[in-house]
Amino acid sequence: MSKEKALKDLFLDTLKDIYFAEKKILSALPKMAKAAQSSKLKAAFEKHLTETDGHVERLDQVFASIDETPRGKTCDAIMGIIDEGKEVMGDYKGMPALDAGLLAAAQSVEHYEIARYGTLKTWANELGYRDAVKLLDATLKEEKATDSALSQLAETEVNHHAETAKAA
């Protein structure tokens, strides 16, 4: 008979999930930046790479605040989203729609992260993990800001270019 699991266990499992995801995002962002044709999109990916380093550092602090060792747990969701991004890079290389596809893949990542961080923040609050709440909230705010910036870039430049430009 397996041990009964509580919210604390679910919180830790989900924390390991997002830790793994952030580490994978750190390796995917440079490839996306290199593939991007738009200098603004490339800059957005590079900025988010720096922020993601900070997200990992905050997660290390969250683990420490609950007396746990930082470690990841395979996140199939982020692996699937990253695989979709790789597929876009291969299928649309040199095409006008490449940046729109890269941006959409990046927003899929952001939406996943927003969902995870929002859930973790709520659970941390319920569990009385005050330090974790503050750390998770800081990252959640950054993820939402990145999503908003990507939406604006899509609406003002990238999607229009994908529609009107000729293939390279």
Residue 57: pLDDT over 90: yes
Q: Which domains does the chain have, with CATH numbers?
A: 7-164 (1.20.1260.10)
* Amino acid occupying residue 118: G
DSSP 8-state assignment for residue 156: I
144, pLDDT greater than 80: yes
Do 119 and 139 meet the contact criterion of CB atoms below 8 Å apart? no
pLDDT at 49: 94
pTM of the model: 0.91
Average the pLDDT over 48-71 and give the result.
Answer: 97
Q: How far is CA 99 from CA 17, 83, 90, 124, in A?
A: 28, 16, 12, 37
Question: Which pLDDT band holds residue 105 (cuts at 50, 70, 90)?
Answer: very high
Assign residue 6 a region (left: φ > 0; alpha: ψ between -120 and 50; beta: otherwise).
Answer: beta
The answer to whether residue 53 scores a pLDDT higher than 60 is yes
- Which candidate, 56, 61, 53, places its Cα nearest to that of 130? 61
CA distance linking residue 129 with residue 112, whole number of Å: 22
* Helices and strands per DSSP (H, E), number in the chain: 6, 0
What are 123-141's pLDDT values in tens digits?
A: 999 999 999 999 999 999 9
**Confidence at 160, pLDDT banded by 50, 70, 90:** confident
Give the burial string for 18-57 (b: 16+ CB within 10 Å, else e).
Answer: bbbbbbbbeebbeebbebbbbeebbebbeebbeebeebbe
Q: How far apart are CA 38 and CA 157, in angstroms?
A: 9
Model confidence at 94, in pLDDT bands (50, 70, 90)?
A: confident
Closest CA to 24 of 102, 70, 76, 91: 76
Compute the distance between CA of residue 110 and CA of residue 55 in angstroms, rounded to an integer: 13
